[in-house]
Structures are given as structure tokens and as C-alpha cells.
Structure 1
Amino acid sequence: MYEAFYGFTGKPFQLNPDPQFYFDSRQHRRAMSFVEYGLHQGEGFIVITGEVGAGKTTLVRNLLANLDSRQVIAANLVSTQLDAEDTLRMVAAAFGIRTKELAKSELLLSLEALLASHASQARRCLLIVDEAQNLAAQAVEELRMLSNFQLGTRALLQSFLVGQPEFRAILQAPELHALRQRVIAACHIGPLDADDTQSYIEHRLKRVSWDGVPLIMPDAFEAIFAASAGIPRRINLLCDRVLLSGFLAGKWVISADTVKEIAEEIDGELSCPRQ
């Protein structure tokens, strides 16, 4: 719709994480440095936390997109409220192991054999667990046990635990003391500041061949920052709606008034209806 109207080559503010739109903000640059350090160690756990929509998954996908898929085998697991054994089965399935009717002991042997096979061929295995705050303490402990798998002195599996800020509190539980000792890098991604918010918007627009049309006024950028609190997903939602509104109204200039109007509309749509 508005993409053709403004001459864009694609949709600049989609909600799904896309490494092609990765923006290297100060927050994300710092987080990426920690992650790259941890990845270089080749063992243990890397913990990434941040508010909903802060760009945690995008950061990890950008990292994976720059790794050699011939040397790194990555499995993704989106955590839900699973018990420890179900979590283990989900991990095995993510690496392509058929888990039906396998006893836990057989499952562990199959997973260890697969990881060892990759290691013997100079391939590394990474496990990315998203929404890690949903993991029960016993499930987290099960993941720690997987980190014990070794081929000689080499760890067979490295794990990224990606979650919301409350996951840090979960990790402080006394029963997770052993896992905390295996965390080799941890970082928290905060919201963008006002300058990075404007740069983020311009970056995404330029990825779809924005040539300055529509013109976004300085106070519009300020209004977007104020309404979104610098959270990338909120920025995307708001900007997408602002551009749609601009298209419907035939506007070539985006003002602060337009942004505030759309922000109020979104807030109204998400609020509880009056009885």
C-alpha cells in the first residue's frame, strides 16, 4: 500500500526480526561485543536480556547470519512452559533428532552422539533459547547438564539464553548456582535514546530506498521517541501506522501532530473497552 505510494522497495517497519534491517545502535554494539567474545570462547552460556521488542532476537539472528553455516550448526528453541524432560526433547528435535518413543537416557545418548559427530567434523553446535524467562528452574538445570558434553577437552554445545529482564532474577535462584558459574558473557539491551531512535528510523527507511519522501520533520522524530520510549518494536509499529496514515491522507510530510494522533489511536485500540 504505502510502499508504492512513497516509492519504497519493501516494507521498512515489519514487526518480525530481520537481520537485513539490523541497526548497530550503541546498545546493540555493546551487546554484540559481549556476544562475540562469548562465542569466541566456544563453551558455556551467553545470556542476553532486554525488554519486549528491544531487539534481542534480531541481534542473535544478525550474529548467526554472519557465521559460516558449514562450520556452525544452530538450533533455535522458543521456550514455553515446559517441564525439564519436554525441554530436553525440544532441544533434541531442534537438532533434527526424532524423539518419539525414546526414553530420556536414549535421548541423551542420541543427542551426545550427534553433537560429537559434528565436533569430529570441526563443526560447532549452538543452541539459542528464546523467551528463556519461561523456563522452569529444572529445565534450565537440564540445559546446564547438556553443557557437560565434551569431546576430549572440547565442549560440544554452547547455548544462548535470550529473555526478558526477569530472567536475570530467575538465574539468581540458589539451585542455579552451578549454571551461573557457566555463564561466560551476559548483556542487557536497553531502549534507544532519542538520537539513536532517529538514526534507527532513517536506517530502516534507507534499506527500502527512501529518498527523503516523505519528509519527516524533526519534531516528528521527537514525538516517535516519546511515544515508543525507544523500544524498536514499538517504533516499528508506530512508524508503520504513521506511514499508512500518510498514504491514506496523501501526505508528503510527516509532522509531530500526525505521530501523536496515531499514537493515541494505537493506545485507544489496546485499552480495555468501557462497559
Structure 2
Amino acid sequence: MYKNFYKLQSSPFGTSPDPRFLYMMPHTREALACLEYGISARKGFTVLTGEVGTGKTTLLRRALSSFSSRRVSTAFVFNPRLDTLDFLEFVMTDFGIVPETRTKSGMLLQLNRWLIERFRMEETCVVVVDEAQNLSWELLEEIRLLTNLETSSEKLLQIVLSGQPELEEKLRHPSVRQLRQRVSLWCRTQSLSESQTHAYVAERLRIAGSREEIFSSDALDLVHRYSRGIPRIINLLCEHSLIVGYVEQAPQITPAIVEGVAVELELETQPFYISSAAMDSRGTRQSHLGSRDADSFRTTFNGEPTGRQDR
């Protein structure tokens, strides 16, 4: 309803993870390059972590879409609260495989044959598990065992675990140390600084067709303050501010409008706290590579910021 008033071609602050609106900040480029490298180089396990609302799913979809011109098959598990048989059935179905039997051994044999066929056709097969911090210990172990599906030189299945910072805590547990040792690449998303928030909003408006400065600079300062730099909350604030601006026929979003929306959404009294796990990793680099992969990564994605190592 506000698109015509503000001369926009599309909604700039939608809630769906649209890769078109991914704003490439330094840490975003690094995380994206890390994901793409892990998949294309057949590294086996890649882990992506970040606070709620920092764009992990958008980043994953952008990384997977970058392989659209190549032979890549993907299975995207968005609900990890499954038992082993349900998980295997879900993965196979998403790959387009009709399970011939619903026994664990039968499905694994069928999946292995299919993966070998795809490998011979020079295809890459990827399983992405979103919200992976909710995986049971049993299913984590089963996922680790899936990486045993391999040839003498290559992993047949690439696995990306994506989740909140609690996923990193979970992977530090001694019971999953074998899985942790197999993780080749660690990627992280993070909240935005004030200047990045300004640039993020401006870029999304530009992609949506805006040619004017719809949000005042002071209004964006408040957006950052109330959102604490979390993209999902930035989107929520900006979307509601545009609606209020349309209702009030305001040509520009002012601090008063943002303040009113923040009060309505109770962002001052009910802020979105950042988890302690995320706070522990703030200021550290957003991607981590095993020592054997570091040189290859930097060579493949020459010029990408590397940040600081935390491990």
C-alpha cells in the first residue's frame, strides 16, 4: 500500500529470505565465500552460525543459487526435529529419490548408489540443515556418519549445518568431538554497526526502486538503536515505519515515526537480546578454516577480507 506513495517497485523489507536483497558487507562476503568454497571444493562439513535474524537463511539461499549454472543437487532440511528414519526420508525426497524401503540400511544403500551416480556425472550433492542447534545428539551422530559416504578421494555428500550460536556450544561437547574434527570450515554472520545499518537500509531501498532518501539520517540512527543492528528487526522497524509514513502521508520517515513504531512493537521494554554465545564471539573473525584449507581459500577467493582468527 505504501509502494506507490514512495515510488517503490517492490517491498524492500519483506520477511522472506530473498537473496536479491542480500547486502554485501565485508563479513557477509567472507561468510558467502566460505560457504561457496566449502561446497565447490567438496570439504564435507561446513558450519554457519549467527544470532537470530542476522541473515543466515538468506546467505544460504544466495550461496546455493550461485551454483544454479552448475550441476548441484540440494536437500534443504528446515525442521531438524526428526528421528533418523524421517531425516533420511526427507533428504532423499528433497533430492528427488523415492525410497524403495523405509529401513535405515535400505535407504542408506539407495542413497549411496544415487550419490555415486551423481559423482560420476560430476555433480555435487549438498544437504543443508537449518536451525541445527535443535538437532538431537543421536541425529548429529547419524549426520556425521553420512560423511562416510565417499570415494577414495572425494566426499560424496557435502553437509552445511546452520544455526544459532548455541550450535557452536553444542559442537564443543565431548560426545560430538568426532564431528567437530570433521568440520573443515566455520562461517559466522553478525549484527550491523550503525554505519552498516544506514548502508543496509539504503541498499534495500535502492533495489526496491527508490531514488530518494526516504529515511532521514536521524531516523536511521534510531532504527539501529532499537534493532541493535539485527537485520530482521531492522526490516521489521522499517516496514512498519513505511506503513505509518504512508498513513500520515509523510514524504520522509522521521525519528518521531520510528520512535512511535518502536514503542508500538515494545522494542524499548522488550528488547531482542543477543545470546551469550554470540557475545563471546563478537570481535572475532566470522569465518574459520582449518589450517590445511586456509591457503586454498585465500587463493580461490583472492581479495576477500579474512578478519582475525579466533581458533
1:101, CA displacement in angstroms? 4.7
Show CA shifts across 1:111-132 (max 9, x none): 1111111111010101111010
SS of alignment partner, residue 127 of structure 1: strand
Write out the 4+ residue segments of structure 1 that deviate beyond 4 Å after TM superposition. Answer: none
Runs of at least 5 residues in structure 2 that lack an aligned partner in the other structure? 271-311
In structure 2, do the counterparts of structure 1 residues 100 and 251 end up closer, same or farther at CA, with 3 Å as the change threshold?
farther
Residues 1-275 of structure 1: pairs in structure 2 closer than 5 A: 1-99=1-99, 101-212=101-212, 214=214, 216-267=215-266
Q: Is the 8 A contact 1:7 1:210 kept in 2?
A: yes
In structure 2, do the counterparts of structure 1 residues 69 and 141 end up closer, same or farther at CA, with 3 Å as the change threshold?
farther
Show CA shifts across 1:112-157 (max 9, x none): 1111111110101011110101100110111111111113422110
Give the TM-score taking structure 2 as reference length: 0.82
SS of alignment partner, residue 150 of structure 1: coil
Show CA shifts across 1:207-264 (max 9, x none): 11101153x2111110000011111111111100000000000000211111011011
1:266, CA displacement in angstroms? 1.0
1:168, CA displacement in angstroms? 0.7
In structure 2, do the counterparts of structure 1 residues 265 and 208 end up closer, same or farther at CA, with 3 Å as the change threshold?
same
Q: Is the 8 A contact 1:225 1:235 kept in 2?
A: yes
In structure 2, do the counterparts of structure 1 residues 102 and 84 end up closer, same or farther at CA, with 3 Å as the change threshold?
closer
SS of alignment partner, residue 184 of structure 2: strand
Q: Is the 8 A contact 2:100 2:107 kept in 1?
A: no
SS of alignment partner, residue 6 of structure 1: coil
Runs of at least 5 residues in structure 1 that lack an aligned partner in the other structure? none
Q: Is the 8 A contact 1:88 1:142 kept in 2?
A: no
Q: Percent identity?
A: 37
SS of alignment partner, residue 154 of structure 1: coil
SS of alignment partner, residue 187 of structure 1: strand
Greater shift in the superposed pair: 6-15 or 66-75? 66-75
Show CA shifts across 1:41-64 (max 9, x none): 313211001111100111111111
d(CA) in 2 for partners of 1:87, 1:250 = 51
In structure 2, do the counterparts of structure 1 residues 213 and 222 end up closer, same or farther at CA, with 3 Å as the change threshold?
closer
1:68, CA displacement in angstroms? 3.4
Show CA shifts across 1:65-110 (max 9, x none): 1113541111111133222332222222221223475211110011
Q: Is the 8 A contact 2:79 2:131 kept in 1?
A: yes
d(CA) in 2 for partners of 1:181, 1:41 = 18
Give the TM-score taking structure 1 as reference length: 0.93
Task: Give the strand-richer structure, 1 or 2.
Answer: 1
Q: Is the 8 A contact 1:54 1:189 kept in 2?
A: yes
